[in-house]
Structure 1
Amino acid sequence: MRIVYLIMICLLTFSLHAKQPTLIASDTYHVINDDNPAYAYPVADKSQWQKRAFNGFIIRPDISWFQIEYDLPHRQNPTQNFGVFVSILGAFDAYWDGQLIAHNGVVGDSSSTEIPGIIDKIMLIPPALSTPGKHTLSLRVSSQHVPLGLENGSFFSLVTDYEQLIQLPYKKASRPLLMSGALILVALYSLFLFFTSFKQPSYLIFSALCLTILSLMLAESWRGLAPYTYDWQIPRLQLVLVLSCLASLLLTAFFGWFYQLKQRHKILWLLFVVVGQLITLVSVDGFDNRSLIVFIIGVGSALGITVYATLTKQQHAVLMLGGLILFIAPISINMYSYMDQYFFLSFSALLCLMLYTLAQTMNQRNKQLIQSQLTSNRLELELVKRNLQPHFILNTLTAVEEWIEESPATAVKFINALADEFRFMAATSARSIITLKDEIALCQSHLKVMSYRTNIEYSLIIDANLQHAAIPPGIILTLVENAISHNHYQHGHVTLSLVQTINQSQQTISFTAPIDTKKNTQTHANNIHLGLGSQYIDARLNESFGAQWTIESSMTNDAWQMDISFPLKRLNNTLEGLKND
Structure 2
Amino acid sequence: MHFRGKLVRYNAPMTRLLMLCCLLLLHPFQAVASMSLDKLAFQEVGVPFEECGSVAGTVTGPFSFDQLGARQAHCIQAEFTISRQPDRPQHLLLSMLASSEIYLDGMRVGVNGVPAESAQGERQGRIDYQLALAPEQLSAGRHRLVLKLSTWHGSERIREQFYNLSVEDDAPTAARKTLPLVLAGALALVAALATALLVYYQRKADWCVFAMLCVTASLLLVTEAWRGVAGYEYGYHLARLMAVQVLTGLFSLLLPAYFMFAYALPRKRYVAGAAALAVAAIAGTSLHFDAKAALMFSVALVASAAINLHALRRGAAVGRSGLAVVLLSLALWLVPGTGFFAETGFALVVFLLLFTILGQLLRQLIRDRNKALLATRLENQLLRKSLQPHFLMNSLSSIGELVHHSPLQAEQFVEALGREFRMLGDYASQVTIPLSRELELCHNYLAIMAVRLQRHCSLKVSGEPGALCLPPAVLLTCLENAFSHNRYRDDLVFDMDIAHSDGHAILSLAMPLADGRKHQGSGTGSTYIHSSLQEAFAGSASYQGRPGEGIWLATIRLPA
User: Which residue number corresponds to residue 215 of structure 1?
Assistant: 219
CA distance in 2, matches of 1:375, 1:150: 65
Contact 2:339 2:345 in 1 (8 A): no
User: Which residue number corresponds to residue 50 of structure 1?
Assistant: 63
Distance 1:172 1:481, change over 3 A: same
Deviation, structure 1 residue 69: 5.5
Distance 1:19 1:61, change over 3 A: closer
**Greater RCO between the two (CA within 8 Å, min separation 6)?**
2
CA distance in 2, matches of 1:355, 1:268: 26
Matched, 1:14 2:25: yes
Matched, 1:131 2:125: no
Contact 1:82 1:127 in 2 (8 A): yes
Matched, 1:258 2:221: no
Q: The residue matched to 2:111 in structure 1 has which SS?
A: strand
Contact 1:40 1:98 in 2 (8 A): yes
Matched, 1:303 2:284: no
Deviation, structure 1 residue 88: 1.4
1:377 is aligned with what amino acid?
N
User: Which residue number corresponds to residue 323 of structure 2?
Assistant: 321
User: Which residue number corresponds to residue 40 of structure 1?
Assistant: 53
Query: What CA RMSD, in Å, does the superposition of the two structures yield over aligned residues?
Result: 4.7
String of CA shifts for 1:14-66, please: whole Å, max 9, x gaps.
Answer: 3449563322214536464966446537999866233355xxx5424342234
Q: The residue matched to 1:306 in structure 2 has which SS?
A: helix
Contact 1:25 1:70 in 2 (8 A): no
CA distance in 1, matches of 2:222, 2:430: 47
Q: The residue matched to 1:214 in structure 2 has which SS?
A: helix
User: Which residue number corresponds to residue 274 of structure 1?
Assistant: 276
User: Which residue number corresponds to residue 102 of structure 1?
Assistant: 110
User: Which residue number corresponds to residue 24 of structure 1?
Assistant: 35
Distance 1:306 1:389, change over 3 A: same
Contact 1:68 1:136 in 2 (8 A): yes
Distance 1:529 1:104, change over 3 A: closer
1:206 is aligned with what amino acid?
F
Q: The residue matched to 1:239 in structure 2 has which SS?
A: helix
The two structures have a TM-score, normalised by structure 2, of 0.68
User: Which residue number corresponds to residue 59 of structure 1?
Assistant: 69
User: Which residue number corresponds to residue 152 of structure 1?
Assistant: 159
CA distance in 2, matches of 1:382, 1:531: 20
CA distance in 2, matches of 1:61, 1:292: 28
User: Which residue number corresponds to residue 377 of structure 2?
Assistant: 374
Deviation, structure 1 residue 402: 4.1
User: Which residue number corresponds to residue 493 of structure 1?
Assistant: none
CA distance in 2, matches of 1:301, 1:486: 60
Which ranges in structure 2 are unaligned for 5 or more consecutive residues? 1-9, 452-491, 501-505, 512-525, 539-560
Matched, 1:232 2:232: no
Q: Sequence identity, in percent?
A: 20
Contact 1:432 1:473 in 2 (8 A): no
String of CA shifts for 1:96-121, please: whole Å, max 9, x gaps.
Answer: 23321122112233333221111111
Structure 1 counterpart of 2:122, from 114, 117, 142: 114
Distance 1:152 1:350, change over 3 A: closer
Contact 1:8 1:179 in 2 (8 A): no
Q: The residue matched to 1:145 in structure 2 has which SS?
A: coil
CA distance in 2, matches of 1:416, 1:482: 12
List aligned pairs for 1:357-368, cutoff 5 A: 357-368=360-371
Q: The residue matched to 2:33 in structure 1 has which SS?
A: coil
Deviation, structure 1 residue 130: 0.9
List aligned pairs for 1:102-501, cutoff 5 A: 102-147=110-155, 149-150=156-157, 152-161=159-168, 164-165=170-171, 167-168=172-173, 170-260=174-264, 262-264=265-267, 266-330=268-332, 331-334=334-337, 336=339, 339-384=342-387, 388=391, 392-402=395-405, 428=426, 431-432=429-430, 478=441, 481=444
Deviation, structure 1 residue 244: 0.9
Distance 1:323 1:26, change over 3 A: farther
CA distance in 1, matches of 2:300, 2:35: 36
Deviation, structure 1 residue 300: 1.2
Deviation, structure 1 residue 411: 11
User: Which residue number corresponds to residue 569 of structure 1?
Assistant: none
Distance 1:412 1:35, change over 3 A: farther
1:348 is aligned with what amino acid?
F
User: Which residue number corresponds to residue 578 of structure 1?
Assistant: none
Number of residues of Structure 1 aligned to a counterpart in Structure 2: 466
Distance 1:191 1:104, change over 3 A: same
2:102 is aligned with what amino acid?
A
CA distance in 2, matches of 1:45, 1:144: 25
Deviation, structure 1 residue 421: 6.3
Q: The residue matched to 2:93 in structure 1 has which SS?
A: strand
CA distance in 2, matches of 1:219, 1:39: 36
CA distance in 2, matches of 1:323, 1:68: 49
Which segment is superposed worse, 120-129 or 332-341? 332-341
Contact 1:91 1:107 in 2 (8 A): yes
CA distance in 1, matches of 2:278, 2:398: 74
User: Which residue number corresponds to residue 557 of structure 1?
Assistant: none
Deviation, structure 1 residue 287: 1.4
String of CA shifts for 1:47-93, please: whole Å, max 9, x gaps.
Answer: 6233355xxx542434223445555463552xx11221111112122
Deviation, structure 1 residue 142: 1.8
Q: The residue matched to 2:287 in structure 1 has which SS?
A: coil
String of CA shifts for 1:402-425, please: whole Å, max 9, x gaps.
Answer: 47xxx8xx9998999799769857
Distance 1:158 1:90, change over 3 A: closer
CA distance in 2, matches of 1:18, 1:402: 95
Contact 1:428 1:473 in 2 (8 A): no
Contact 1:24 1:72 in 2 (8 A): no
Contact 1:384 1:429 in 2 (8 A): no
The two structures have a TM-score, normalised by structure 1, of 0.66
Contact 1:212 1:243 in 2 (8 A): yes
1:64 is aligned with what amino acid?
H
Distance 1:303 1:542, change over 3 A: same
User: Which residue number corresponds to residue 98 of structure 2?
Assistant: 90
CA distance in 2, matches of 1:277, 1:325: 21
String of CA shifts for 1:349-408, please: whole Å, max 9, x gaps.
Answer: 3344323333433343333223322332333345556995666444322113447xxx8x
Distance 1:258 1:530, change over 3 A: same
CA distance in 2, matches of 1:31, 1:271: 52
Q: The residue matched to 2:61 in structure 1 has which SS?
A: coil
CA distance in 1, matches of 2:269, 2:510: 43
Deviation, structure 1 residue 428: 4.4
Which ranges in structure 1 are unaligned for 5 or more consecutive residues? 434-469, 489-518, 547-581
